Chains A and B, each alone.
Chain A
Amino acid sequence: SQQGEEDPQALSIQEGENATMNCSYKTSINNLQWYRQNSGRGLVHLILIRSNEREKHSGRLRVTLDTSKKSSSLLITASRAADTASYFCATALRNFQGAQKLVFGQGTRLTINP
């Protein structure tokens, strides 16, 4: 199963409202990242939070990380129609050879209604 699981799978809100998405993971991580994907496009990095950080802000984005619960949340404040996209969390895992790979969750499809 996927290392990261986002919740909810889909979220539809009115423009101006706040959107909260959650991510849970299973194993110890070096960091957790959030990405955005517009339909049919590549993913764009939004924000990275390290395992020793609890909260991070970037513009209208706020990310929290609770390593004891193995969970993270992404809050988008004052949502805009242009925020409509899929949002993915990704965890950085290091294998026995020292190589690092990112494992992505299933994503949350966010729709902002004007």
Chain B
Amino acid sequence: KAGVTQTPRYLIKTRGQQVTLSCSPISGHRSVSWYQQTPGQGLQFLFEYFSETQRNKGNFPGRFSGRQFSNSRSEMNVSTLELGDSALYLCASSSEGQGMPGNTIYFGEGSWLTVV
């Protein structure tokens, strides 16, 4: 069974540009969530999508957005990139979403974004 797949793995963008990251969840999983990992702030929750609807959102500015398609694949977009957006962006999937106590959430290997 294939794991959570994220593309691209590495990318470099210029300040002010926008970026789109893609995530394919484990087959059959309907929930996809996104996390940002930085040395300073650690791991922080961005948002969760379940059956194409955003179900939960973290405390990030509106420049960060996402969507989920009917096949459960998800994309996140960051517009007007800032230097502080440089981070590892992790996608995670689960079968029932983050909605079941103790539900196992599976993470991808992440997309490394560097903003210069």
A and B form one complex: no
